Each structure stands twice: as structure tokens, then as C-alpha cells.
Amino acid sequence: MRKNSIKNTRINSEVQRELSNILRNEVKDPRVSSMVSVMEAVVAPDLKTCKVYISVMGSQDEKQQTMKALKSAEGFIRRQLAHNLQLRNTPELRFLLDESIEYAVNISKMIDDVTNHDRNSHEDGEDVDE
């Protein structure tokens, strides 16, 4: 697998930052959730394509509506990105849903539940011994 160059890494972070600003301040579609985050932007070395990983906190319906809205606003977002960044080529955007944060929160909650259950059953067992 090819390692990203310093230039490509810098472009990825700039595109991510600009896309976050565009989604927060310029996209007016009511279908886009207010709890949307750009987790990562991966621009191809030739600057032709960009995979944008989006995290949406909310119900499954809100996630689907947000992804539909982003796909329909793709041209507008790309035009704004071209206006804000001075790149040789403005990459074609492909939005992908990233559920890793929600997954991590659920795993953390399950671990806390097991820990609390274990602690409570352990305390109950100690009271019986006394």
C-alpha cells in the first residue's frame, strides 16, 4: 500500500477543515442534521476523487436523510470547496457514512454496564459473607 506524502496529508486536512465549514455554515438543506461531522477526507494523489467520511448522530432515518441531502448538494459543496481552496483540480466528492463514533459509544456503554453489574453483584456477595 502506498504511503501518503506530506503534501497529500496536508491537502486531506485542508479539505476536511473546509468541508466542515461548508457543511456548518453554507449548506441550508433542512434534511442535513445539525449533528453532522466530517471525520476524515481522503483525497486521491491525482486530486480527482475524495472520499468524505461523515458521522451523523441521531436516528437511522436522520442518517439516511442527511446522506441523501449531501448527495444532492454534492455539486454545490464541490463548487464552494473550489472557491475556498486553490487546488489544481477540485476532487469529485463521495460521501460515506462513518458509524465508528456511535459504535465506540455503544461499546463503552456496554463495558460500563458490565462493570457496574459486576461491582453490584460483588458488593452483594460481600454483604452475605459478613
pLDDT tens for 93-128 read: 999 999 888 888 889 999 999 999 888 887 776 544
Which residue bears the cell 502506498? Answer: 2
pLDDT for the residue numbered 1: 46
Q: What would the pLDDT profile of 11-60 be if each residue is shown by its tens digit?
A: 999 999 999 999 999 999 999 888 899 999 999 988 899 999 999 988 89
The pTM of this model reads 0.77
Phi, psi torsion values for 32, nearest 5 degrees: -75, 120
pLDDT for the residue numbered 3: 66
**Which one is predicted more confidently, 100 or 67?**
67
DSSP string, 16-33: HHHHHHHHHHT---TTS-
In three-state secondary structure terms, 110 is: helix
